[in-house]
Amino acid sequence: MKEVLNQEQLAFLAEILPCWKAMDREHQRLLERTMTERSVKRGEYLYQGDRDCTGVFWMRYGQARVFLISGTEKQITLYRLLERDSCFLSASCVIKNINFDVFIQAEKDCRILLLPANVYQDLMEKSFPLATYCNQILASRFSDVMWVMEQTIFTSLDRRLALFLLEQKAIDESSDLHITHEAISNHLGTAREVVTRMLKYFQEEGLVSLSRGAIEILDEKRLKELAYAA
Amino acid sequence: MKEVLNQEQLAFLAEILPCWKAMDREHQRLLERTMTERSVKRGEYLYQGDRDCTGVFWMRYGQARVFLISGTEKQITLYRLLERDSCFLSASCVIKNINFDVFIQAEKDCRILLLPANVYQDLMEKSFPLATYCNQILASRFSDVMWVMEQTIFTSLDRRLALFLLEQKAIDESSDLHITHEAISNHLGTAREVVTRMLKYFQEEGLVSLSRGAIEILDEKRLKELAYAA
């Protein structure tokens, strides 16, 4: 029987799947035989709502953004997928009762381990340990989304923008953020003009310095005070 | 051994739990022994965020509202619980990775069948059919919340208000809605003044008629056109 994954990929899988050891050998072998590694270039889509049924994937390297998009192309980021993260919403075609659609786009070049949707569906009925693990991840995404929702509805934009800049700094590991105002508005689910106005206010206050396509964080301490004020 | 549920309650349970027949007799008996029926008066809380760990419940009679509340007391409704609905977020203290808190308040007098949180937690590890069912319900709630989120971020308030009035008419089975502007603003996660302004506009357009503590729907057809316009 063809083994698609090599030893290194198998070791990665066994390491990031806490339920691996509890799974029947037969189900482990099904994963080993059907999973594949795939490369996705920065900017490409890993998943495009109901046009796709990609399956479940685990991020080996790279970074991706999971977001909603409206009929009028307005966007909001739900969460980011970083190395070692798993993604189940990309198999929503086979998850009972998940009837919304997200888009997933690579923010850096990615390599993913992919489990086909039909195998995932089959295993969710057969492997109790795997199903329990998958549902814990889904619950965790539910929590991520609720956080975004609370932020969007209850938190003022200055605070949300400060939080976003700090998060971006942590992800990029740099105070020099190469990001457009439009990209930020797509993360925050708001209009570009509103982001531009708020960033200009931040600049006047000495928190950031703006230049074409880039934002430099000048005063992280005050940005944190704004973001985390009680 | 004490059987807490009577025959009628047991029949209800077996009927609303599609996984009942697939469950081991031992696990069925655990449900039968530990579940209780409880009455909750209109206006009382079934669950109050992290102050509580109520457990899982099934609604036998009545109606309740599941909502978020911010530090500044602003609210938004996530979904309603109607007869035969089940609620798992009221056991979020024992659900791994659910780390947000909702509030649940009775909108009508309710009678619920309650499963204690610790028994639920135990069964989620032991009963594959029950765990699968519970996770499908959780996925369904995830979808409900995503719908609210898309509405909140991408849909204009006039449309959301029209949708809300139509939904309320369907729930109340009456065109005469006894609801305050403040209650509507708490459903929609917006300010009372904004709701009042929009309702007055609806009245000028002949869609509704306003009086103290009540809203009468006059033109359902045009309200639907507004709510469901492409």
Buried (b) or exposed (e) across A39-61, using 16+ Cβ within 10 A?
ebeeeeebbeeeebebbbbbbbe
* Predicted pLDDT at B34: 94
CB contact under 8 A, B98 and A139: yes
B26, β-bridge pairs: none
Please tell me the predicted confidence (pLDDT) of residue A53: 87
Q: How far is A48 from chain B (nearest CA, A)?
A: 17
The per-residue pLDDT for B2 is 47
In this complex, the residue of A136, A140, A146 whose CB is nearest that of residue B145 is A146
The CATH topology of domain A7-153 is Jelly Rolls (2.60.120)
CA distances (Å), A190 to each of A2, A72, A181, B195, in order? Answer: 49, 12, 11, 21
The answer, yes or no, to whether residue A184 has pLDDT greater than 60, is yes
Cα–Cα distance for residue pair B202/B161, rounded to 1 Å: 10
For B71, name the nearest residue in chain A, comparing CA atoms only: A154
CA distance B100 to A142: 9
pLDDT (tens digit per residue) in A130-164: 999 999 999 999 999 999 998 888 888 999 999 99
Which of helix, strand or coil describes residue A156? coil
What distance in Å separates residue B23's CA from the closest CA in chain A?
14
Question: How far apart are the C-alpha atoms of B111 and B84, rounded to whole Å?
Answer: 11
pLDDT bin (cut points 50, 70, 90) of residue A108 is: very high
CATH of B155-228, one of 3.40.50.10890, 1.10.10.10, 3.30.70.1230, 3.20.20.70: 1.10.10.10
Could A68 and B146 be called an inter-chain contact, meaning their C-beta atoms sit closer than 8 Å? yes
Among B113, B115, B117, residue whose Cα is nearest residue B37: B113
pLDDT in tens, A47-103: 998 878 889 999 999 999 999 998 777 899 999 999 999 999 999 888 888 888 899
pLDDT attached to residue A76:
92
Q: Show which of residues 6-65 on chain A sit within 8 Å of chain B, judged by CB atoms.
A: none
For residue A97, the chain B residues in CB contact (below 8 A) are 136-137, 139-140, 142-143
Q: Are A63 and A80 in contact (CB under 8 A)?
A: yes
Sort residue B62 into left (φ over 0), alpha (ψ -120 to 50) or beta: left
According to DSSP, residue A91 is labeled G
Query: How large a percentage of chain A has pLDDT more than 90?
Result: 78
Give me the pLDDT at residue B230, please: 66
Contact yes or no for B191/A191 (Cβ under 8 A): no
The 10s digit of each residue's pLDDT in B114-162 is 999 999 999 999 999 999 999 999 999 999 999 999 888 888 899 999 9
Q: Could you please report the per-residue DSSP string of B54-104? A: --EEEEEE--EEEEEE-TTS-EEEEEEE-TT-EE-GGGGGGSTT-----EE
Does the ipTM surpass 0.95?
no
pLDDT value at residue B3: 54
Question: Is the per-residue pLDDT at A2 higher than 50?
Answer: no
pLDDT < 70 regions, chain B: 1-3, 230
**Residue A20 in contact with residue A86, Cβ under 8 Å?**
no
Q: Which pLDDT band holds residue A5 (cuts at 50, 70, 90)?
A: confident
CA dihedral sign, ordered B119, B121, B125, B131? positive
Q: Which of A103-112, A185-194, B123-132 has the lowest mean pLDDT?
A: A185-194
Report in angstroms the alpha-carbon separations of A111 from A36, A58, A59, A66, B18. 10, 9, 6, 16, 40
CA A46, B149, B114 angle in degrees (round to 5)? 105
Q: Taking the domains of chain B in order of start, what are their residue ranges?
A: 7-153, 155-228
Q: Closest approach of chain B CAs to the CA of A189, in angstroms?
A: 7
B145 inside 8 A of chain A by CB:
yes
Distances (CA, A) of B126 to A95, B3, B27, B219: 22, 21, 8, 53
> Which of A138, A145, A154 is the closest to B145 by Cβ?
A145
B140 touches chain A (CB under 8 A): yes
Helices in chain A by DSSP H: which ranges? 7-16, 25-34, 117-126, 128-154, 157-172, 181-188, 192-204, 220-228
Chain B residues close to A141, C-beta within 8 Å: 142
Terminal Cα-to-Cα distance of chain B (whole angstroms): 59
Residue A107: which pLDDT band, with cuts at 50, 70 and 90? very high
Residues B150 and A74: their CA atoms lie apart, in Å, by: 10
Give A-chain residues touching B23 at CB under 8 angstroms. none
What average pLDDT does chain A have? 92
Residue A230 pLDDT > 70, yes or no? no
Are the beta carbons of B145 and A149 separated by less than 8 Å?
Answer: yes
